[in-house]
Amino acid sequence: MPDFTKDDLQKVAQLSKLRLIDQDIEQRLKEFKDVLSHIDTLSQADVSQIQNPSIAGLTLNPDQPHQSFQINKALDNATDPQPPFFTIPKFMTSKGPA
Amino acid sequence: MSANQAITHVPAHELSKKLVSKEISSVELTRAFLDSIQSSNDALGSFLHVSSEAALEDARHADQLLGQKGAKDLHPLCGIPIGIKDIICTQDIPTTGASRILKDFIPPYDATVVAHIRSIGGVRIGKTNCDEFAMGSSNENSAYRPCHNPWNVQHVPGGSSGGSAAAVSARQTPISLGTDTGGSIRQPAALCGIVGLKPTYGRVSRFGSMAFASSLDQIGPMTHCTQDAALALDAISRPCSKDATYQHKPYCYNPDHLSASIKGQTLGVPWTFIQGYANEDVLENFKKQIDFYASQGVTIKTIELPHQRFASACYYILAPAEASSNLLRYDGIRYTHQTKDKESLEAIFVNSRTEGFGLEVQRRILLGTFVLSAGYFDAYYTKARKVRALIRQDFDQAFEDVDIIATPTTPTQAFALGAKTKNPMDMYHADIFTVATPLAGNPAISIPSGFTDKSLPLGLQLTAKHFDEARLFAFGSAHEQAFDHHQKVPVI
């Protein structure tokens, strides 16, 4: 098991686009380490005979275009629909991203 | 028994006969189930949204079909109410995935299974509670409210399809749909005393089911009895061109599948693995089920599934890895909860997701991101994929010698609400007997196998070869001929 630290967890949270609350981080770190300890049991498995781990027998259907729903319908759940677009909060400035 | 109970306590295949013979209309039947939901949903929390208007509209349509010539040729589930797990998209009916991040989401389209239900005249009665994005084994991870076990409301119904299981058990609907990624149909089915079927991966289209772990997710029916499960599988496994992994092998209902003799068949039991995890009540109950099958002329054979002990670790790498990728679409930009704190693009992503996702979903996203990250990818993700191949090999080799593999569905009976929420690892062990099957892709069914001395249900899990659901129905039906566990109804 890697020596996993609070900083490591913060880095993973950053990659995950999540924010950890400081007062929770000890508990979250403990939980994370418990799960890592569990999944680390896989290190005991001998996988030397497996060259290709793809799912045997599963064939994938071709990805073909098909008629979908109309734009207005697709925008129904947008926060601020402006058919045929939807607006998002301003995040660019003249100097680049805010 | 009240007049309503005389309807709601009847399995779907018998209700179908009443509809065809005009003994009752679909509207009357649907109203009876809506009343049942109204009387017990406060106590159970099994439905997040009751779609009364859509249900009655569907019922009126079904009555029209049933009133025409050729009603006997309609699908037996025409006019039958079906609860739909809130992770499965329903056009113009709220679908939240039991998550705050999709609080106001109304899908612009139907999942393929819902389209199939509507095409045969089925009735969409409502959206059932579940763990957020199907992540959990107790339904306590729902962002809206926990669901309670109808057999004892102080206990969990299991999860993640806890609402679907509780609704069928409490006779709020004769059938519901759940999804199963690591046991989310079978485990709650067992804990609520009903039948739950996880079909073969690729048997049922996943289009319109919110993706948790795409290589594992599968939609399946939760019912009173095996026959209803077979009928529901017939309805939902019909063709779909929108899911790349749909295998174009629809199950066609055949009553011969239910009456097929099981005498002379071989049932494999991985005793060593079972004895390592099942508690005393579960083990004692399981032995009785094996004795029953032996009494029916089934040969019992002890088998080994040598890599099954790695299944849980393998699952908790692969499922979170896929989830962390699938859930990246919920970014606060297009159609999900959007934070009020929008000082930067990064802040929109991070704040929307942190506010929108519950604790367990966040745990799994973090874990998935970690196992996919540079430096750890091969040690965890690649290794887990290889172990998954070994687990599948174990099943394939076992099925060269046996027709069915039996285990208890769960290691324990339903546990008390809150008992496992403080320690995620305790919760993860609740699906120890169910996680291997989705990794291997095989079909598996949980059937009611009796009760503990505290009247909590237990389940028997039967697993078959790929696309051999018919054999599961034969073994399940034979069990139902001998026992009446599936007919027991909780008092709420």
Please judge whether B376 and A97 are an interchain contact, meaning their C-beta atoms are less than 8 angstroms apart: no
A30-81, pLDDT tens digit by residue?
A: 999 999 999 999 999 999 999 888 876 788 999 888 888 888 888 999 988 9
Answer yes or no: is A21 within a domain: yes
Q: Which residues of A touch B379 (CB under 8 A)?
A: 43
pLDDT, average across residues B61-72:
91
Instruction: Please say if the pLDDT value at position B239 is more than 80.
Output: yes
CA gap B124, B93 in Å, rounded: 10
The residue in chain A having the minimum alpha-carbon distance to the alpha carbon of residue B311 is A42
Among the listed residues B36, B85, B164, B237, the single catalytic one is: B85
pLDDT, average across residues B132-159:
98
CA gap B34, B399 in Å, rounded: 44
Instruction: Please say if the pLDDT value at position A89 is more than 90.
Output: no
Instruction: Please say if the pLDDT value at position A1 is more than 60.
Output: no
Answer yes or no: is A11 within a domain: yes
Q: Which residues of A touch B392 (CB under 8 A)?
A: 55-56
CA gap B126, B112 in Å, rounded: 17
The residue in chain B having the minimum alpha-carbon distance to the alpha carbon of residue A63 is B244
Please judge whether B354 and A19 are an interchain contact, meaning their C-beta atoms are less than 8 angstroms apart: yes
Answer yes or no: is A83 within a domain: no
From the list B313, B351, B376, the residue facing A41 with the nearest CB is B313
Of B21, B26, B178, B14, the closest CA to residue B111 belongs to B178
Q: Which residues of A touch B309 (CB under 8 A)?
A: 41
Told to judge if B214 belongs to the known catalytic residues of this protein, a careful annotator would answer: no
Beta strands in B81-162 (DSSP E): 81-85, 123-128
Distances (CA, A) of B329 to A89, B103, B235, B293, B325: 17, 15, 30, 47, 8
B449-461, pLDDT tens digit by residue?
A: 999 999 999 999 9
Structure tokens, B342: 């929008």
pLDDT in the model for residue B343: 86
Of B141, B39, B31, B53, the closest CA to residue B96 belongs to B141
Contact B52, B81 (CB under 8 A): no
B382 band by pLDDT with thresholds 50, 70 and 90: very high
Instruction: Please say if the pLDDT value at position B237 is more than 70.
Output: yes
Answer yes or no: is B400 within a domain: no
From the list A31, A76, A77, the residue facing B424 with the nearest CB is A31
Q: Count up the domains in chain A and report the number.
A: 1
Tell me how far the alpha carbon of residue B105 is from its chain's centroid.
22
Among the listed residues B25, B160, B169, B205, the single catalytic one is: B160
Please judge whether B354 and A15 are an interchain contact, meaning their C-beta atoms are less than 8 angstroms apart: no
pLDDT in the model for residue A97: 67
Q: Count up the domains in chain B and report the number.
A: 1
Instruction: Please say if the pLDDT value at position B138 is more than 60.
Output: yes
B4-49, pLDDT tens digit by residue?
A: 999 999 999 999 999 999 999 999 999 999 999 999 999 999 999 9
From the list A12, A43, A91, the residue facing B370 with the nearest CB is A12
From the list A53, A79, A91, the residue facing B386 with the nearest CB is A53
Give the number of C-alpha atoms closer than 13 A to the C-alpha of residue B455, restricted to the C-beta side.
10
Summary mean pLDDT of chain B: 97
Other CB atoms within 10 A of residue B249 CB = 14
Question: A66 to chain B nearest CA, in Å?
Answer: 9
A90 band by pLDDT with thresholds 50, 70 and 90: confident
Structure tokens, B414: 């339903």
Instruction: Please say if the pLDDT value at position B258 is more than 90.
Output: yes
Answer yes or no: is A33 within a domain: yes
Instruction: Please say if the pLDDT value at position B282 is more than 60.
Output: yes
A98 band by pLDDT with thresholds 50, 70 and 90: low
Please judge whether B350 and A79 are an interchain contact, meaning their C-beta atoms are less than 8 angstroms apart: no
Question: B293 to chain A nearest CA, in Å?
Answer: 31
Please judge whether B363 and A9 are an interchain contact, meaning their C-beta atoms are less than 8 angstroms apart: no
Contact B190, B458 (CB under 8 A): yes
Question: A29 to chain B nearest CA, in Å?
Answer: 10
The residue in chain B having the minimum alpha-carbon distance to the alpha carbon of residue A86 is B334
Told to judge if B160 belongs to the known catalytic residues of this protein, a careful annotator would answer: yes
Please judge whether A35 and B310 are an interchain contact, meaning their C-beta atoms are less than 8 angstroms apart: no
pLDDT, average across residues B464-485:
98
Choose, out of B366, B385, B390, B393, the residue to mutate when testing the contact with A (most A CBs < 10 Å).
B366
What is the rounded radius of gyration, in angstroms, for the C-alpha atoms of chain A? 23
Chains A and B form CB pairs within 8 A to the count of: 152
Instruction: Please say if the pLDDT value at position B340 is more than 70.
Output: yes
Residues contacting B65, CB < 8 A, separation 6+: B71, B74, B78, B79, B121
Query: Which residue range forms the structural domain that includes residue A37?
Result: 6-43
Answer yes or no: is A88 within a domain: no
Query: Which residue range forms the structural domain that includes residue B193?
Result: 3-260+472-487
Among the listed residues B184, B205, B237, B352, the single catalytic one is: B184
Amino acid at B316: Y
Question: A53 to chain B nearest CA, in Å?
Answer: 5
pLDDT, average across residues B188-206:
98
B283-317, pLDDT tens digit by residue?
A: 999 999 999 999 999 999 999 999 999 999 999 99
From the list B334, B345, B392, the residue facing A78 with the nearest CB is B334
Amino acid at B400: E
pLDDT in the model for residue B45: 98
CATH assignment at residue B138? 3.90.1300.10
Q: Which residues of A touch B245 (CB under 8 A)?
A: 58, 60-61
Instruction: Please say if the pLDDT value at position B361 is more than 90.
Output: yes
The residue whose two tokens read 């939901």 is B37
CA gap B77, B176 in Å, rounded: 12
Tell me how far the alpha carbon of residue A72 is from its chain's centroid.
28
